[in-house]
Amino acid sequence: MPALGLGVFQSTAEQTADVVTTAIAAGYRLIDTAAAYFNEEQVGEGIRRSGIDREDVFVTTKLWMTDHGRDRTRKAFDASLRRLGLDRLDLYLIHWPEPASWSQTVESWLVLEELLAEGRVRAIGVCNHHPHHLRDLIDAGSVVPAVNQVELHPFFNQPRVRPFNAAHGVITQSWAPIGGGRVYNAGRPDAPHSPLEHPTITGVAERFGKSSAQVVIRWHLQHGLSVIPKSADPQRIAENIDVFDFELSADDVAAIDALGTANRAGGDPEVVDRRLHSVTIDND
Ligand SMILES: NC(=O)c1ccc[n+]([C@@H]2O[C@H](COP(=O)([O-])OP(=O)(O)OC[C@H]3O[C@@H](n4cnc5c(N)ncnc54)[C@H](OP(=O)(O)O)[C@@H]3O)[C@@H](O)[C@H]2O)c1
């Protein structure tokens, strides 16, 4: 799996085919979508339009919560492949665990294991799993998830999840990697609202002649994280992959590590369930 990819959450259906074509031309080889982003069809269209060989691009999609359970999971997987126009997927992820109906999450995981064994997907994994969820899933199944994709950026750097994943051979992939999703310090006009505005990061960026986003993406990569920034803007798409000509010092990395807070941008996996995110996918 490429370490750096393009996320397409909130890329509209109208934008997404162009965004994907632009990203592939800029050098991206990993596209991260989900059934719940309602743009899988356009991701497939963008890949085909780019002219790239199917084997040279890594496609991730995700199973939505309302499709947990044995039969629904298989149907959802088939529908995602159909919408993408692919006959095989690279990575299939459980989008959220549902602690309140955990047995359904486990049932879905066991179906993902079957899909892997059948060769319909090259790797399977999860998103938003706390260490104890991951431990329960590993105990229930026979395949260790390849990836745990979690919210991770300088303002929320997951000090418990990262080492747990690493100890179990699970790749940590960062969502909202440049801090998309939430305005921090909303009540304090003088304080940074996003990691990209924080003086520690703007200072490092200035020193390297790079943008804040490039510094933050570099911070993920130097931590050994996979990172999937979203942009629908051609210039920022190019900017976000132009991160391989500089290296942060250990002190820079430590200074950015020190910006971590206890505040998530997104939901806590312990309490998120399908009632909170009331999206349903039409898989017929
Ligand atoms: N598994 C999950 O539960 C989950 C949850 C959320 C996200 N994700 C995945 O992770 C991906 C990334 O997360 P995200 O989209 O929430 O947040 P993000 O990538 O941290 O931030 C995206 C935001 O930053 C802006 N941006 C992009 N490049 C920029 C740059 N160089 N300078 C300044 N602003 C820039 C984008 O605007 P423009 O588009 O205008 O450039 C957009 O508003 C998603 O697309 C999705 O694939 C997964």
**Ligand 1 binding pocket includes 102 (Cβ within 6 Å):** no
Residues 17-36, mean pLDDT to the nearest whole number: 98
**Ligand 1 binding pocket includes 230 (Cβ within 6 Å):** yes
Q: What percent of the chain has pLDDT over 90?
A: 89
Q: Given this model, what pLDDT does residue 267 score? A: 87
Q: Given this model, what pLDDT does residue 231 score? A: 97
CA 225 to chain centre: 11
Give the residue numbers annotated as catalytic, written as ranges.
37
- Which of 119, 64, 51 has the alpha carbon at shortest distance from 95? 64
| Domain ranges across the chain | 6-257
- Which of 279, 278, 276, 269 has the alpha carbon at shortest distance from 96? 269
Tell me the CA distances in angstroms from 123 to 18, 24, 35, 147, 161, one per residue in order: 27, 21, 17, 9, 20
Q: What is the mean pLDDT of the chain?
A: 95
Confidence of residue 40 (pLDDT cuts 50, 70, 90): very high
State the Cα–Cα distance between residues 191 and 187, nearest whole angstrom.
Answer: 9
User: Which tops the pLDDT comparison, 187 or 233?
Assistant: 233
Q: Given this model, what pLDDT does residue 274 score? A: 73
Annotation: CATH topology of 6-257 = TIM Barrel (3.20.20)
> What is the Cα gyration radius of the chain?
18
- Calculate how far, in angstroms, residue 6's C-alpha sits from the geometric centre of ligand 1: 9
Tell me which long-range contacts 275-280 makes (C-beta under 8 A, separation of at least 24): 277/36, 277/65, 277/96, 279/36, 279/64, 279/66, 280/66
Confidence of residue 226 (pLDDT cuts 50, 70, 90): very high
Q: Does 129 carry a binding-site annotation?
A: no
- Calculate how far, in angstroms, residue 231's C-alpha sits from the geometric centre of ligand 1: 6
Q: Are 7 and 23 in contact (CB under 8 A)?
A: no
- Which of 231, 256, 258, 255 has the alpha carbon at shortest distance from 242? 231
At residue 117, φ and ψ (nearest 5 deg) are: -65, -30
For atom 14 of ligand 1, the residue with the nearest CA is 176
- Calculate how far, in angstroms, residue 117's C-alpha sits from the geometric centre of ligand 1: 32
- Which of 120, 72, 87 has the alpha carbon at shortest distance from 284? 72
